[in-house]
DNA sequence: CGACGGATTGATCGTGCTCAAATCATGTGG
DNA sequence: CCACATGATTTGAGCACGATCAATCCGTCG
């Protein structure tokens, strides 16, 4: 088990708090009990972690940093399916290959477990098997919500939804330090970066949020934001 | 165990062919070996099978007919996440409740298994547990592909993709008998019914497809259709 | 300090939506 | 069996939202 030095750039986030225990976050804890070895690894900003259709060899948990997971069309159009933040598990596949590409958005440290050893553990330990299933089900829930957003919500509703999601997942003391650029946000929300920027400016002018740097955002009126999110 | 008479309207499809065995289709076969009892039930056209946030009590397999699964916004905007056709399994949840509503599009017969008995079987039989996980993973794969469609494809690409998907899933002798109306297709593709209709007309005028009734479609040039689907 | 990438803002354009009307298909009752 | 009613589909005209193209502005890092 490697113990990496946490080089922490401005956009990187604090390591996982063991006291916050969502199903996904508890997962790697559970695997510990099952005698599974988790090692750590660090990816540079913009580095690919795995590619679409590559064999799935590992399951990952973000320790610090942030990851984007996306699909590309042949002409370069990109749809980001999910962002993974400290504590999140990603790269778990039931089939043999990854179906999206994963990249580090900023310098990112992950804990990782061999997929093979997980499969073996699941074959004997029903709790592990249940954990794998519910983790995939959690990703499906997110995808189902996101289909509604992409298919039926307008630009402001999408951006409001994004802000509330990020607030929930990475707010510290009422502030968010977004690790991703406007283009990433656009590619997550099915919008252009300009439309994202305009929506954010509009929210600022209404006093619903405040900036201290383009990626440091403070939500000043979550209730109003929830109204804007259909 | 109810044994319903199959009243088969024009838009309904033939019952499941036991020789075609996708993972999902094999599933109910597998559960048979595990001593699980599957009963049958028939829903009328437009009838709700389960609602969003209702407790998940059963898992379903379409025997004949067709089902739409969707989410609604408060103002009535609807996003259909998936259509389920003969052989397809739906309503499987890892959590306690359904996250989408399911409705019969036409008169539909389903086979069903108590969720509780499935959970019990999964607790002892690793193969069952594996089956549950891979079924949810299959739904996730579809949702990931659909997010790319909803977020980044234009109207013609979406419609071309839809036609190829339906062709693959329900074509008989080169013909498709679509069970759903244009509004359903629109709500699946994140478009209006008018835009769907215009795209289909355009494909007809190019000779890529032929109609015999608005819902009876013959694909005349699948290669060209694949080109149109980004 | 200068250079570079990221973000904002503006002007214009175009795809798909909205509103509306006509046409077609389906099923029902006389 | 036909006439009609009803809902589904098609088609048209105009509009609006978000995309595109372009020009600053800003922040960060060498």
| Confidence (pLDDT) at B36 | 75
* C-beta of residue B39 within 8 angstroms of C-beta of residue B112: yes
Looking at residue B172, what DSSP letter applies?
Answer: B
**Cβ-nearest to A81 among B71, B75, B144:** B144
Min Cα–Cα distance to chain A from B92, Å: 10
Q: Which of A147, A129, A140 is nearest to B93 (CA)?
A: A140
Indicate whether A145 and A157 sit together in one domain.
no
Please provide the average confidence, as pLDDT, over all residues in chain B.
Answer: 90
Q: Measured between CB atoms, does A94 come within 8 Å of chain B? A: yes
Indicate whether A141 and A160 sit together in one domain.
no
Indicate whether B99 and B158 sit together in one domain.
no
Q: Which of B52, B76, B80, B51 is nearest to B66 (CA)?
A: B80
CA of A48 to C1' of C2 (A): 32
Q: What is the distance between the alpha carbons of residues A192 and A189, in angstroms, rounded to a whole number?
A: 9
| Domain boundary, last residue among B151, B179, B214 | B151
Q: Which residues of A touch B134 (CB under 8 A)?
A: 94-95
| Domain boundary, last residue among B151, B182, B212 | B151
Q: Is B24 helix (H, G, I), strand (E, B) or coil?
A: helix
pLDDT at B148 over 60: yes
Please provide the average confidence, as pLDDT, over all residues in chain A.
Answer: 90
| Domain boundary, last residue among A89, A119, A150 | A150
Q: What is the distance between the alpha carbons of residues A221 and B213, in angstroms, rounded to a whole number?
A: 53
Top pLDDT among B92 and B34 is at B92
Mean pLDDT for the stretch of residues A24-38: 69
Assign A37 a pLDDT band (cuts: 50, 70, 90): confident
Helix axes A193-205, A155-170, angle to 10 degrees: 80
Mean pLDDT for the stretch of residues A73-94: 98
Structure tokens, A30: 């559970």
Please list the alpha-helical segments (H only) found in chain A. Answer: 23-33, 115-124, 126-152, 155-170, 182-189, 193-205, 222-228
A99 contacts B144? CB cut-off 8 A: yes
pLDDT digits (tens, 9 = 90+) for A54-81: 999 999 999 999 999 999 999 999 999 9
| Confidence (pLDDT) at A36 | 75
Q: What is the distance between the alpha carbons of residues A92 and A75, in angstroms, rounded to a whole number?
A: 28
A134 contacts B130? CB cut-off 8 A: no
Q: What is the distance between the alpha carbons of residues A98 and A95, in angstroms, rounded to a whole number?
A: 8
Q: Which residues of A touch B73 (CB under 8 A)?
A: 148, 152-153, 230
For chain A, give me the number of helices (H) and strands (E)? 7, 11
Indicate whether B93 and B172 sit together in one domain.
no
| Confidence (pLDDT) at A186 | 98
Tally of domains within chain B: 2
A190 contacts B133? CB cut-off 8 A: no
Assign B34 a pLDDT band (cuts: 50, 70, 90): confident
For tokens 């004997």, name the residue: A124
Write out the residue range of the structural domain in which residue B219 sits. Answer: 153-228
Q: Which of B188, B180, B191, B190 is nearest to B81 (CA)?
A: B188
What phi, psi does A64 have (nearest 5°)?
Answer: -150, 150
**Cβ-nearest to B126 among A79, A94, A129:** A129
């Amino acid at each position: 088990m490697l113990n990496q030095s946490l080089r922490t750039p401005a956009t990187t986030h604090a390591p996982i708090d063991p006291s916050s225990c969502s199903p996904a976050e508890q997962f790697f804890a559970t695997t510990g009990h099952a005698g599974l070895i988790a090692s750590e690894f660090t990816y540079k900003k913009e580095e690919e972690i795995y590619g679409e259709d590559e064999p799935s060899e590992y399951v990952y948990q973000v320790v610090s940093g942030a990851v984007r997971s996306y699909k590309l069309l042949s002409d370069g159009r990109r749809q980001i399916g999910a962002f993974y933040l400290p504590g999140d598990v990603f790269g778990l596949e039931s089939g043999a290959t990854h179906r999206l590409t994963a990249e580090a958005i900023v310098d990112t440290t992950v804990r990782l477990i061999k997929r093979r050893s997980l499969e073996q553990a699941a074959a004997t330990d029903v709790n592990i098997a249940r954990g794998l299933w519910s983790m995939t089900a959690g990703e499906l829930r997110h995808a189902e919500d996101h289909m509604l957003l992409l298919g039926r919500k307008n630009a402001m509703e999408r951006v409001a939804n994004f802000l509330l999601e990020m607030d929930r997942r990475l707010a510290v003391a009422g502030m968010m330090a977004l690790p991703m650029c406007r283009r990433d946000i656009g590619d997550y929300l099915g919008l252009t970066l300009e439309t994202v920027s305009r929506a954010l400016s509009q929210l600022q002018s209404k006093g619903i949020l405040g900036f201290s740097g383009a990626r440091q955002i403070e939500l000043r009126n979550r209730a109003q934001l929830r109204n804007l999110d259909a």
